[in-house]
């Protein structure tokens, strides 16, 4: 960050390496070195995260500094694209035309075995898109919402990713304006970032170079979502910053993790968790064992038996099954299995099975429109209430509650309205608290 100009970089940080701490320190360094210049030029540092919850945590860690813009990728892209209404309208029109063309191509290639209901649906879809095409000519401005409704001027999450990225990739002026507004951009969890977004940000960096510093923080081996890029391509003049330290895992677990990732890249994690032994810190050895269990109706019973066996083998009673405050954390890799274990298997099936691929991915990464109110508002609100963070509670209410919209405060006792919202917020905090039995 002290280089003139700062060099773009790619930080590859393994599990337990303190990646988020490094990101926070990087933001602090930018503010210390370049803060005054940013303030004079009315510029900000952008930090792009994957979830609203992560954005809130980073925002708090930087002391709610107004020079730092922390948001999800969707919110960031919309913040820089929403002023380009003519370009947005042209993109929407082109997207509708593409869809009509695809449907017409399908119809032209229907064979004799295609059912009539499929043909009828194709005709209805073409008519619907043609009506949308005509309706968007009356849209005065487009907005960002939970789901797409072009006729009403609403763009969904998938639209924002594609539209804003295309503007960055194809419009030199747009790239310049991005760099002028945000001369520093950090991307957290870069391995799960959409490839087209990475391509767009790299296009800005190639054009602006000395006026734009781009930093990716991630680990290709920790990619969760299939839509993520995984390994971010690194230009020759970039710095690669490996973080091989691991402060979380015992030595045995660390050795296993290194063996698993040995075929993936050349990052070998070192260190491991330590504990005090007198005045010295010594490595925690730990254990790593593999148990293969049959997939049958007795899974919970078998897992309990495994835990009892480990408790005896390790002489550690904390491995024993516990009805409350269980200290053992179990990772479930298969999403459907996790949903069933956590009590929302039917919801998972309803939102995942036979759904379009984009909707499935949106359900997995919590960007699908049915989940947005929960992820962006209710969960952060409940956590803020439970932690006693009154400032964050009010910020979320002002941002999301229509009861605090200016138009809805005319002739209203504001103090009474705030008391009502506080009471409802407390109820949300209780309903979603760790001891709640609500479903």
The SS3 of residue 267 is coil
| Residue 136 banded pLDDT, cuts 50, 70, 90 | very high
Mean pLDDT of the 345-354 span = 82
Strands 143-144, 68-72: parallel, antiparallel or unpaired by DSSP? Answer: unpaired
Note whether 222 and 190 are within 8 A (CB).
no
Residues 6 or more apart whose Cβ sits within 8 Å of residue 14: 219, 221, 243, 244, 246, 257, 261, 267, 269
Mean pLDDT of the 115-137 span = 93
Length of the chain: 439
Residue 3 has pLDDT above 70, yes or no: no
Work out the end-to-end distance of the chain between its first and last CA atoms, rounded to an integer number of angstroms. 48
- Looking at every residue in the chain, the average pLDDT score rounds to 89
Mean pLDDT of the 355-363 span = 75
The per-residue pLDDT for range 146-196, each reduced to its tens digit, is 678 899 999 988 899 999 999 999 999 999 999 999 999 999 999 999 999
Note whether 192 and 223 are within 8 A (CB).
yes
Residue 234 has pLDDT above 90, yes or no: no
Note whether 429 and 386 are within 8 A (CB).
yes
- Higher-confidence residue of 133 and 145: namely 133
Strands 239-243, 245-246: parallel, antiparallel or unpaired by DSSP? Answer: unpaired
Strands 245-246, 270-271: parallel, antiparallel or unpaired by DSSP? Answer: parallel
Residues 6 or more apart whose Cβ sits within 8 Å of residue 304: 321
Mean pLDDT of the 419-432 span = 91
Distance CA 199, CA 228 (A): 12
Mean pLDDT of the 370-386 span = 86
Distance CA 261, CA 67 (A): 38
Residue 27 has pLDDT above 90, yes or no: yes
The structure's pTM equals 0.77
Residue 217 has pLDDT above 90, yes or no: yes
Distance CA 411, CA 301 (A): 61
- Higher-confidence residue of 337 and 7: namely 7
The SS3 of residue 413 is coil
Distance CA 50, CA 74 (A): 9
Q: How confident is the model at residue 195, as a pLDDT?
A: 96
Least trusted range by pLDDT, from 86-90, 178-182, 264-268, 278-282: 264-268
Tokens for 426? 């407390």
Distance CA 6, CA 214 (A): 9
Tokens for 180? 């002028």
| Residue 54 banded pLDDT, cuts 50, 70, 90 | confident
The per-residue pLDDT for range 295-327, each reduced to its tens digit, is 787 888 999 999 999 999 999 999 998 877 788
Distance CA 338, CA 297 (A): 15
Q: How confident is the model at residue 354, as a pLDDT?
A: 78
Distance CA 213, CA 7 (A): 6
What value, to the nearest 5°, has the Cα angle with vertex 50 and ends 27 and 350? 170
How many Cα atoms within 13 Å fall on the side-chain side of residue 225?
22
Strands 143-144, 270-271: parallel, antiparallel or unpaired by DSSP? Answer: unpaired
The SS3 of residue 434 is coil
Q: How confident is the model at residue 53, as a pLDDT?
A: 76
| Residue 57 banded pLDDT, cuts 50, 70, 90 | confident
């Amino acid at each position: 960050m002290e280089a003139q100009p700062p060099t773009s970089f790619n930080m590859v940080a393994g599990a337990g390496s303190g990646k988020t701490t490094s990101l926070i320190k990087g933001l602090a360094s930018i503010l210390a070195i370049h803060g005054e210049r940013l303030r004079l030029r009315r510029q900000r540092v952008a930090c792009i995260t994957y979830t609203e919850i992560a954005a809130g945590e980073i925002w708090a860690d930087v002391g709610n500094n107004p020079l730092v813009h922390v948001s999800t990728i969707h919110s960031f892209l919309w913040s820089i694209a929403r002023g380009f209404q003519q370009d947005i309208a042209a993109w929407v029109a082109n997207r509708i035309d593409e869809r009509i063309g695809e449907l017409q191509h399908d119809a032209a290639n229907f064979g004799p075995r295609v059912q009539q209901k499929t043909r009828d649906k194709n005709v209805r879809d073409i008519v619907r898109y043609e009506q949308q095409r005509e309706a968007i000519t009356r849209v005065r401005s487009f907005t960002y919402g939970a789901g797409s409704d072009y006729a009403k001027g609403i763009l969904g999450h998938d639209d924002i990713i594609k539209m804003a990225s295309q503007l960055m990739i194809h419009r030199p002026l747009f790239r310049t304006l991005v760099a002028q507004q945000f001369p520093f951009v950090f991307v957290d969890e870069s391995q799960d970032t959409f490839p087209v977004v990475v391509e767009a940000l790299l296009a800005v960096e190639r054009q602006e170079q000395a006026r734009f510093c781009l930093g990716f923080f991630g680990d290709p081996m920790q990619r969760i979502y299939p839509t993520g890029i995984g390994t971010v391509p690194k230009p020759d003049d970039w710095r690669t910053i490996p973080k091989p330290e691991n402060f979380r895992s015992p030595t045995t677990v660390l050795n296993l993790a290194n063996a698993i990732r040995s075929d993936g890249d050349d990052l070998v994690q070192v260190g491991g968790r330590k504990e005090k032994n007198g005045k010295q810190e010594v490595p925690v050895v730990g254990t790593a064992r593999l148990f293969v269990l049959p997939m049958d109706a007795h899974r919970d019973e078998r897992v309990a038996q495994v835990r009892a066996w480990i408790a005896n083998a390790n002489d550690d009673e904390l491995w024993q099954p516990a009805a409350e405050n269980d200290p053992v954390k179990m990772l479930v890799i298969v999403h459907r299995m996790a949903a069933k274990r956590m009590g929302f298997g039917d919801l998972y099936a309803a939102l995942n099975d036979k759904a379009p691929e984009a909707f499935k991915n949106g359900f997995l990464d919590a960007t699908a429109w049915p989940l947005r109110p929960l992820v962006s508002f209710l969960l952060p609100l409940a956590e803020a209430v439970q932690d006693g963070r009154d400032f964050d509670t009010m910020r979320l209410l002002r941002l999301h509650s229509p009861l605090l919209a200016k138009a809805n405060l005319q002739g209203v006792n504001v103090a009474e309205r705030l008391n009502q919202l506080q009471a409802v917020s407390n109820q949300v905090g209780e309903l979603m608290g760790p001891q709640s039995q609500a479903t």
